[in-house]
Structure 1
Amino acid sequence: MDNSTEERLLLLEEFDREDLKKRVWNESKKLWRIAFPGIIARVTSFGMIVVTQLFMGHISELDLAAFGLQQSILLRFVNGILIGMSSATETLCGQAYGAEQYHMMGVYLQRSWIIDGVTATILLPLFIFTTPILRLIGQEENIAIEAGKISLWFIPILYYFVFSLTIQMYLQAQQKNKIVGWFSASSFLLHVLLSWLFVIKLGFGLAGAMSSFIISSWLLVIGEFVYIFGGWCPNTWKGFTKAAFADMLPLIKLSISSGVMICLELWYSSILVVLAGYMKNATIAISAFSICLNINGWEFMVCLGFLGSSCVRISNELGRGNAKAAKFSIKVALGTSIIIGIIFWVLCMVFSREISYLFTSSEEIAESVFRLHVLLAFSMLLNSIYPVLTGVAVGAGVQSMVAFVNLGSYYAIGLPVGILLGYVAHLQVTGLWIGLLSGVVVQTLVLSYLTWKIDWNEQVNKASERLGRFFIETTKGSDESSNLS
């Protein structure tokens, strides 16, 4: 019997000795230690977009619609790609941390910067030629022109995503995401202050709102750079190394499968926003739909905290070789997240009309948002389930499986249902949201079944094989050997 097998048996014996209450308590502590800072980071990061939209809504209805279209389509499109590509970092860093291959985490981070940076540059023309693209797909001329002006301001945000997403996953995998939470919260508060100063007090309008967004975002990244390079990650950051350029193809493949998985999910709602732009009163339809998506998205950021924590817990336990602990972690994460989903469901049902006035002073837009509040509430409830299951898939490194589930649930079922109800049945925006919800319901049911059927002992072996394939021997600092084992 080799050492790794003996270690696994010892872990299983230790796990079995604990009583159920103690196991739930210990797992909950581990879960919240990762989830809470992650929730703060994601909520405040997404909140910066929402705050920008809030101030846009008080500049003009056209700016609100243009920003809503830009944020819901283009920003969500590229953000989906970069989040997905970055989740490969989350998988590898989490499993490396569990296997105590700490020095490899810095190498994975640098590789992800290279891959995501090249990807962002490839996507750059979308921001430069936004107006012609929106014209091509038939959006209203005034909205297309205004969105084109806004899109140029989003270019610095594109490269901000490259670093912020990967660094957050790198720090989260080693359970140092508390610092990300502090940086994100500080950046959010600064953004609110600067937006008020630039837009309300100084009257800079669009330029003021977007400048505040850019400044606050990049100060967050600079703070994270200082933390990593300043010596606060001594075990996992050994300096820049040529090894980051070695054996890129397997990581690219994992990044692409991760990217496809997340993109199919995030693009789904973006396509529905495009469809809203073809309705009778496009400005009202896009504004109302994007407001609901942002309310839903903000709550989704809370659930993404549990996605991140379930990913880290699963990947850590698989890296350690403890399949039982990985399965138990899923149950605790799901139970906790569902309780939070129920709380948000109640809040949305009770305060839906009041929430809409935060985003707009238009009675027509607010009434359109209110008509969607029941569907929005149930969307929030489902948000508490499927992100955790997605996090489980990322932690196990089976992103390609979820990509196929998303493709079938959203594009074979949800999208046709939304088009049919929105246009043929003339339910307008309500029909589109029913389509969105139906896709999420199917996705949740299928992911639940697939998670239940996963052989976790087999996933332990696969994680060991994956880490062995990527492993690089290290000596000191950045003098790492480029010879792969």
Structure 2
Amino acid sequence: MDMSTETAEISTLRQPLVDQTNSERKPPRDNGSLESVLTDSSLPSRRRLYLGACIEMKLLFRLALPAIFVYLLNSGMNISTRIFAGHLGSQELAAASIGNSCFNLVYGLMLGMGSAVETLCGQAYGAHRYEMLGIYLQRATIVLALVGLPMTVLYTFSYPILILLGEPETVSHMASLYIGGLIPQIFAFAINFTAQKFLQAQSVVTPSAYISGAALLLQILLTWTIINVMGLGLMGIAYVLTISWGFIVMSQTLYIITSPTFRHTWTGLSWRSLHGLWSFFKLSAGSAVMICLEMWYSQILVLLTGLLDDHALSLDSLSICMSISAISFMVSVGFNAAVSVRTSNELGAEHPKSAMFSSWMATFVSFVISLVEALALMASRDYVGYIFISDSKVAEAVSELCPFLAITILLNGIQPVLSGVAVGCGWQTFVAYVNIGCYYVVGIPVGCVLGFVFNMQAKGIWTGMIGGTLMQTLILLYVTYRTDWDTEVKKARTRLDIWEDKKDPLLN
């Protein structure tokens, strides 16, 4: 087959996907272009694999690249606050760092609970039950807002909590004031993450990237003005960060309400969103536990390192490695978002082969990218530390930790993608149990034994935690390999059918 024939064949298969972007028409039913390729027995298996890969790669990167951009920009907002606070003074920097770290609790909680709407909206969209997406969006926002209420109490009393944790009194006072200025963000997160998943389920990701980019620019300009012109200091930084998140929420909300693209998925406020809140909360709780356990795992590594004998050198080198790992992790998180959308959409559309193919394709692509990153890191291991610091001892310590960092990057190229598959299928509660066992029953205890008992220091702690991540990755690989995708399609159909009977969705 010549190139022109091949291009025409793929273009014909993709035509419905192009039509779907037309906002003036009702979203057409998917004709299963990827599914039709994978099930076409008239094509040789290698040909089916090639054509399927061409279709899936375009869909995957169209979702993953904007998602990566969004997560990088959102992280940049927190980084910029620390930069501005650092120019105010060391105590202000410490207060902002503590405040942002404490606020990661509610960030992870809301992000995790928001992934529940990702499962349901993705499967509903794949099944062309478009009116359900708006109901799920409202239901998720209500649940997350209710969960945010006790969080406001927790952060209102952050000062005595920080004192009990042993933080200096002056820094605790400044950090508590800073956290108080961030409290409205709790409810901004509740709206933002559910709206973001609502958009992702429909493969609409680029507008969120534009909104996040505009919010970052707004934050930088306002923070500079408030500090240098108005002289509001640390509290001004907190207020601007809250305003920036408010800008993101308002922009996304207006986009969803006013854009004709969503006139079939957003039909206005409905009393039906108040039904089945407890069932929705249970799935959301499983999602929150899954995400929070993963986010806290690396934080515990830093805390344990602070207890070592030469903790200053260990913390400096480890913080540099964690910064590199965090940047690499953003790529995997982008593929996590993309594969959860692709898997849930295909399951909802009753395309088991496409769901399986999407899962493994995303895992393979993310692994290849992480392999390139790990090899580049090892090639520059003697120099990478100097990007962050001029101290030769710290740079040498970073070089010694680079093999551990390279292994972590490789695992992070697989594990988050498999977690995305779990979100697409609705396995959040199962993965939460796996995380508890692998991270907190195996990884951390083994790391403590190696680090403190066998005196391997930071290398020992990191080795144990790598072991926990490796165990979790192998379990998820095995579960994904053994998955009966036809059964997953039936489960997705059951969830949606039960909703149409006006009962609580079967979420487990």
Distance (Å, rounded) in 1 between the aligned partners of 2:237 and 2:319: 18
2:63 aligned with 1:34, yes or no? yes
Aligned to 1:94: 122
Amino acid corresponding to residue 403 of structure 1 in structure 2: A
Q: Is the 8 A contact 2:450 2:464 kept in 1?
A: yes
Distance (Å, rounded) in 2 between the aligned partners of 1:145 and 1:465: 52
Aligned to 1:402: 431
Correspondence list, 1:121-160, <5 A: 121-139=149-167, 144-160=172-188
Report how far residue 427 of structure 1 moved: 4.9
Q: Is the 8 A contact 1:76 1:267 kept in 2?
A: no
Report how far residue 391 of structure 1 moved: 0.5
Q: Is the 8 A contact 1:8 1:320 kept in 2?
A: no
Distance (Å, rounded) in 1 between the aligned partners of 2:87 and 2:289: 36
Q: Which structure 2 segments of 5+ residues have no match?
A: 1-29
Distance (Å, rounded) in 2 between the aligned partners of 1:26 and 1:156: 42
Report how far residue 335 of structure 1 moved: 1.6
Aligned to 2:385: 353
Distance (Å, rounded) in 2 between the aligned partners of 1:307 and 1:98: 18
Distance (Å, rounded) in 1 between the aligned partners of 2:459 and 2:86: 22
Aligned to 2:39: 16
Report how far residue 270 of structure 1 moved: 3.1
2:211 maps to which of 171, 183, 186: 183
Q: What is the TM-score of this pair, normalised by structure 1?
A: 0.86
Q: Is the 8 A contact 1:469 1:484 kept in 2?
A: yes
2:249 aligned with 1:226, yes or no? no
Report how far residue 193 of structure 1 moved: 3.7
2:359 aligned with 1:327, yes or no? no
Higher mean C-alpha displacement, 85-94 vs 54-63: 54-63
Aligned to 1:340: 369
2:101 aligned with 1:77, yes or no? no
Report how far residue 415 of structure 1 moved: 1.2
**How many residues are matched?**
467
Amino acid corresponding to residue 175 of structure 2 in structure 1: A
Distance (Å, rounded) in 1 between the aligned partners of 2:231 and 2:396: 28
Distance (Å, rounded) in 2 between the aligned partners of 1:21 and 1:175: 23
Aligned to 1:106: 134
Amino acid corresponding to residue 239 of structure 1 in structure 2: G
Q: Is the 8 A contact 2:293 2:436 kept in 1?
A: yes
1:393 maps to which of 401, 412, 422: 422
Higher relative contact order (CA 8 A, sep 6+): 1
Q: Is the 8 A contact 1:89 1:169 kept in 2?
A: yes
Q: Which structure 1 segments of 5+ residues have no match?
A: 1-6, 474-481
Q: Deviations over 1:138-184 (max 9, x none)?
A: 45556544433432233122222111111110000011111111111
Aligned to 2:277: 248
Distance (Å, rounded) in 2 between the aligned partners of 1:398 and 1:484: 15
SS of equivalent to 1:395: helix
Higher mean C-alpha displacement, 155-164 vs 112-121: 155-164
Aligned to 2:499: 470
Report how far residue 21 of structure 1 moved: 1.3
Give the structure with higher Rg (CA). Answer: 2
Amino acid corresponding to residue 286 of structure 2 in structure 1: S
Residues 155 and 364 (structure 1), Cα distance of their counterparts in 2 relative to 1, 3 Å cut: farther
Aligned to 1:310: 339
Report how far residue 434 of structure 1 moved: 3.4
2:328 maps to which of 272, 294, 299: 299
Distance (Å, rounded) in 1 between the aligned partners of 2:323 and 2:218: 20
Q: Is the 8 A contact 2:385 2:394 kept in 1?
A: no
Aligned to 1:415: 444
Residues 50 and 383 (structure 1), Cα distance of their counterparts in 2 relative to 1, 3 Å cut: farther
Amino acid corresponding to residue 308 of structure 1 in structure 2: A
- Percent identical residues: 37
Report how far residue 243 of structure 1 moved: 0.7
SS of equivalent to 2:203: coil
Report how far residue 209 of structure 1 moved: 3.4
Higher mean C-alpha displacement, 160-169 vs 62-71: 62-71
Report how far residue 471 of structure 1 moved: 2.9
Aligned to 1:4: none
SS of equivalent to 1:238: coil
Distance (Å, rounded) in 1 between the aligned partners of 2:481 and 2:447: 29
Aligned to 1:446: 475
Amino acid corresponding to residue 252 of structure 1 in structure 2: F
Aligned to 2:9: none
Report how far residue 300 of structure 1 moved: 1.7
Distance (Å, rounded) in 2 between the aligned partners of 1:273 and 1:254: 30
Distance (Å, rounded) in 2 between the aligned partners of 1:61 and 1:430: 30
Residues 100 and 66 (structure 1), Cα distance of their counterparts in 2 relative to 1, 3 Å cut: same
2:286 aligned with 1:263, yes or no? no
Amino acid corresponding to residue 111 of structure 2 in structure 1: I
Aligned to 1:476: none
SS of equivalent to 1:100: coil
Q: Is the 8 A contact 2:37 2:52 kept in 1?
A: no
Distance (Å, rounded) in 2 between the aligned partners of 1:152 and 1:280: 35
Residues 356 and 171 (structure 1), Cα distance of their counterparts in 2 relative to 1, 3 Å cut: same
Amino acid corresponding to residue 132 of structure 1 in structure 2: P
Distance (Å, rounded) in 2 between the aligned partners of 1:275 and 1:70: 20
Distance (Å, rounded) in 1 between the aligned partners of 2:249 and 2:236: 20
SS of equivalent to 2:388: helix
Higher mean C-alpha displacement, 204-213 vs 236-245: 204-213
Residues 137 and 425 (structure 1), Cα distance of their counterparts in 2 relative to 1, 3 Å cut: farther
Report how far residue 242 of structure 1 moved: 0.7
Q: Give the CA RMSD over aligned residues.
A: 3.2
